[in-house]
Amino acid sequence: MGSRVILNLVLCFLVVLSCSCNSCYGSARKLTALYKPPPMVLKYHNGKLLEGNLPVSILWYGKFTSTQKSIVSDFFLSLNPTSRNHLQHSSKTTTNPYVSHWWETVQTYMKNAQKKQTHIILSKQTTDEKYSLGKSLTRSQISELSQRVNSKPGTITLVLTDKDVTVEGFCMSSCGFHGSNKMKNSAFIWVGNSVTQCAGQCAWPFHQPIYRPQDKPLVAPNGDVGVDGMIMNIASLLSGTVTNPFGNGYFQGTANAPLEVSSACPGVYGKGAYPGYAGNLLRDTDTGGSYNAHGVNGRKYLLPALFNPTTSECSTLV
C-alpha cells in the first residue's frame, strides 16, 4: 500500500506540474501576441539636404519622342503648389489628389530638419540621340553624363536612358539610382526605360510582374508603359535625393543600403496595398488608366507612397 500511495502522489505532482507549465506557455503565447515592434523611423543623420530653389536638368540619352518628354516635364512642373491654383481649395481630397500634395510629405522632412522648403525648378534639357558613350553604360559613365549637363552646386541632373540602352545593374538590382558629387555639392539621378528589358520589374503594375501571380496589369495613365513606369521611379528617387543627397540625411539602416523616404514603402501606391496589389487607385473613365495624382496639362500619374514622419506609416494619396 505504501508504494502505491507514493506512486499516486508522484502522478498527482506530475499532473500539477504539467498544468502549471501549460499555463506558463499559454501566458507566454499571449505576451508574444501582444508584442508590437517599435515603429520604423527614418533618422536624420544631420547631413546636408537639398533645400530652397532646386534646379533640375534633364539629359535624354536616346531617341525619346516629344510626347514622352512632355510626360516627364509635366511631372516636374506639377510639383509646384501653384500648379493647382485652379482648384477651389488646396486641401487634399479623395477626388482631387495632386502631385503637389504628394510632394508635401517631402516638405515635412525639410521642416523637421529646420531647412527651407524645396521648390523644384525645371531647368535646361539636353538630348543625346547619337548615344555618345554607346548603348551599354556603366554606373561611372552615368555620373560622367550627368557632369556634362550640370554640375553646379545645389542642383540635380536627371539622366534618362531609352529602351535600347542597357546600364550596369539595370533590371538585375535596380530600376534607377541616385548619386552625388560631394566636392561640387551636386546630385544626379538615373532612371531607364524598362519596357523592352524588364517591365515586369520596373514598370509594375503596368506590366505583369516577373515573380508574382500573373494578374492582368493596370492601364498606364499616359498610355506609355515604359515612361509611366519611369515616372514612378523618378518620383521615388527624387524624394530620396532631396532628403538624403549625400548619404547622411534621412534614412534607416546602413548608408550603403539605406531605406529612404520612398524605398521604405515598396510596392505601395494606394490604401490596402499588399505584395502583388498596388492598392485602391483612381481610374480614368475615358482611358481606363489607373492613377493617384493629377498633374498639369490634364496629366495623371501613379506615384509611390512616401514614409510619413508624422504618422510613421506609408502615406498614400488615395
**pLDDT tens digit sequence for 195-254:** 999 999 999 999 988 776 667 899 999 999 999 999 999 999 999 999 999 999 999 999
List Cβ neighbours of 33 (8 Å cut-off, separation of 6 or more): none
- Give the predicted TM-score (pTM) of the model: 0.86
Residue 6: pLDDT over 80: no
- Please give the biggest Cα pair distance in the chain: 103
Q: What confidence score (pLDDT) does residue 212 get? A: 62
Beta bridge partners of 289: 219
Q: Strand 313-315 and strand 293-294: pairing? A: unpaired
By percentage, how much of the chain surpasses pLDDT 70?
A: 83
Model confidence at 40, in pLDDT bands (50, 70, 90)?
confident
Q: What is the mean pLDDT of residues 111-136?
A: 97
Q: What confidence score (pLDDT) does residue 31 get? A: 44
Are the CB atoms for 125 and 69 separated by under 8 Å? yes
Residue 306: pLDDT over 80: yes
Separation in Å, CA 268 to CA 56, 74, 177, 239, 302: 26, 23, 19, 15, 10
Kindly tell me the sign of the dihedral angle through the C-alpha atoms of 144, 75, 77, 270. negative
Cell numbers at 97, concatenated: 489628389
